[in-house]
A and B are shown apart, each in its own frame.
Chain A
């Protein structure tokens, strides 16, 4: 099966961000990057599916050439090839421009199944996966916690507010991955060596006009100073009194 895992290079989740001098972007000084947490789960699911049904896994990303480091990590885990749609300013792309470029590439690659994370942990859009599917006219299940692919069909469990929803669909499909789906593997030394020889292609990302322009970026206002009401169980009456009469939430 021809499987594509779409990934995004994002700042590490430990980042304490600062606003850049332009007032509308993240100050890049000292920012370290990683593959978005949920995209690692998508890569793992793509590799597991390949191991079960055979085929090939392509890791696809939009980003600067520097994203080669993160894509190589996916190849070291067992993906077969990488493609970077290069855009040094990929961080200003909106969801539509991102999804449009990915959808066109996915179609060109002749993919049957696309995995991606349920959300990228920088912009928190949680949108590109279902948008790619809608643009291609494909089936799509988001927030998957269990995936079974069998004979051109997929059965997918989705974590929702009311409980677990079970979906069935024919392939091709896009599936976005939730944390409970799997435990991503670590790359072994053998994998890391093999990854150096795997194909990693860089092609310029097509321009798609943005429909969202960032006009301002701020840090949230700090919370007003709180107070320690006391220590140990003796402080409980004072806490309950504060919640009732001051904060009025009890």
Chain B
């Protein structure tokens, strides 16, 4: 069976869940999966995977260097597909790998299956306002996969990593200004608590931050209106000109629900809306709504969530 190369990311606690999902998706298409890892601690992380992962060794990170190495592994294995998760690194590297293989790329895919000699791909357009099904006839299928969509693969352990030096590239990371400890990105958090103009002013975002902290695994999000007003950084913006998110739970506080915002969060598993205006469009996509003043409802919800979590 033809090989599939998967770029696998890891962190201190092990293989990233997003990458396990990519491995899971790869295994639904082929039994011959070749994981590739890079960076400090890659060999240890690779050993947990089982099989014969490829480990690129070297301290400096270069996205074009990494892409060249990934393309080389694809060619050596005569692989018919290359997959990565749609993480910030995966999204950056996969198009370069595709170009090096004279292939097109499919990004942020929500479905992938073999279709005769080709592959069928499902991916959103217009930030999820439409869903497209495409047939890939590229020499190599190159794709990134949306998170929280595919079943993560098991990690059997006992892998025998094959190390090789990472190639140098033309673009080199010279520094990383790490985020405040433990702060989750809105694109990867299992719970997102977002605030909008209903909070009236920037300082009032405290109630949103406190609710996010009460959940323990939540990131703070924001509507375009409050990002444009300078209350919150663009990194937190959810919507068509921000991030598309699909967490387990999305809580919209004081967000009326412009079509561009709804496009960016409508595929969340559970949506809660808290808004003063009972006619706000956000209630049309919400599973559960509370009509009321955010300044009364949100602190009460924060206390209730804290209590539930303390009780376990």
At the interface, yes or no: B127 with Cβ under 8 Å from chain A? yes
**Complexed CA–CA distance, A153 and B266 (Å):** 42
Do B132 and A217 touch (CB < 8 A)? yes
Residues in A lying within 8 Å of B, measured CB to CB: 11, 13-17, 19, 24, 26, 37-38, 94-97, 99, 121-135, 137-143, 155, 159-170, 173, 178-180, 210-220, 223-224, 226-233, 235-237, 239-240, 242-244, 247, 249-250
Known pairs A13-B240, A125-B107, A236-B304; A161 contacts B187 (CB<8 A): yes
**Complexed CA–CA distance, A26 and B271 (Å):** 28
Do B170 and A138 touch (CB < 8 A)? yes
Within 8 Å CB of A223, what residues of B?
266, 271, 285, 287
At the interface, yes or no: B292 with Cβ under 8 Å from chain A? yes
Do A16 and B105 touch (CB < 8 A)? no
Identify which of residues 273-312 in chain B touch chain A, using a CB-to-CB cut-off of 8 Å. Answer: 278, 283, 285-293, 296-297, 299-301, 304-305, 308-309
A212 to chain B, nearest CB (A): 5
B158 to chain A, nearest CB (A): 29
**Complexed CA–CA distance, A159 and B287 (Å):** 32
Do A217 and B240 touch (CB < 8 A)? no
Closest to B91 in A: A126
At the interface, yes or no: B167 with Cβ under 8 Å from chain A? no
**Complexed CA–CA distance, A4 and B87 (Å):** 28
A45 to chain B, nearest CB (A): 15
Per-residue 0/1 for B96-126: is the Cβ within 8 Å of any A Cβ (1 yes, 0 no)? 1011101111111000000000001101111
The contact of A166 among B92, B177, B240, B241, by CB within 8 Å, is B177
Closest to B96 in A: A134
B99, B120, B136: most-surrounded residue (chain A CB, <10 A): B99
**Complexed CA–CA distance, A17 and B240 (Å):** 14
The contact of B171 among A127, A169, A179, by CB within 8 Å, is A169
Known pairs A13-B260, A218-B130; A160 contacts B234 (CB<8 A): no
Within 8 Å CB of B233, what residues of A?
180
B152 to chain A, nearest CB (A): 18
Do B283 and A226 touch (CB < 8 A)? yes
Do B104 and A212 touch (CB < 8 A)? yes
Do B89 and A250 touch (CB < 8 A)? no
Known pairs A134-B67, A211-B136; A99 contacts B99 (CB<8 A): yes
**Complexed CA–CA distance, A100 and B93 (Å):** 17
A19, A143, A164: most-surrounded residue (chain B CB, <10 A): A164
Within 8 Å CB of B292, what residues of A?
231-233, 235
Within 8 Å CB of B270, what residues of A?
243, 247, 249
Do A229 and B288 touch (CB < 8 A)? yes
The contact of A121 among B121, B127, B237, B305, by CB within 8 Å, is B127
The contact of B287 among A142, A180, A226, by CB within 8 Å, is A226
At the interface, yes or no: B27 with Cβ under 8 Å from chain A? no
**Complexed CA–CA distance, A43 and B108 (Å):** 26
Can you pick out 24 interface pairs between chain A and chain B where the beta carbons lie within 8 Å of each other? A13-B241, A14-B259, A17-B130, A96-B99, A122-B125, A122-B126, A126-B107, A127-B95, A130-B95, A134-B100, A141-B171, A160-B88, A166-B174, A167-B171, A179-B242, A214-B133, A223-B266, A226-B286, A229-B288, A230-B291, A231-B292, A232-B297, A249-B248, A250-B308
Known pairs A229-B290, A233-B297; A26 contacts B130 (CB<8 A): yes
The contact of B174 among A129, A168, A180, by CB within 8 Å, is A168
Known pairs A213-B135, A233-B297; A96 contacts B171 (CB<8 A): no
19 additional contacts (CB under 8 A) given A96-B104, A232-B293, A233-B292: A15-B126, A16-B129, A121-B241, A127-B107, A130-B96, A137-B170, A138-B170, A139-B169, A163-B177, A180-B233, A214-B134, A216-B132, A219-B129, A220-B131, A236-B301, A243-B249, A247-B287, A249-B191, A250-B309
B61 to chain A, nearest CB (A): 8
**Complexed CA–CA distance, A17 and B129 (Å):** 7
Per-residue 0/1 for B63-84: is the Cβ within 8 Å of any A Cβ (1 yes, 0 no)? 1100100000000000000000
Closest to A97 in B: B104
Do A96 and B102 touch (CB < 8 A)? yes
**Complexed CA–CA distance, A160 and B88 (Å):** 6
Within 8 Å CB of B155, what residues of A?
none
At the interface, yes or no: B188 with Cβ under 8 Å from chain A? yes
**Complexed CA–CA distance, A3 and B292 (Å):** 52
Within 8 Å CB of A138, what residues of B?
170
Closest to B191 in A: A249
Do A219 and B130 touch (CB < 8 A)? yes
**Complexed CA–CA distance, A129 and B191 (Å):** 31
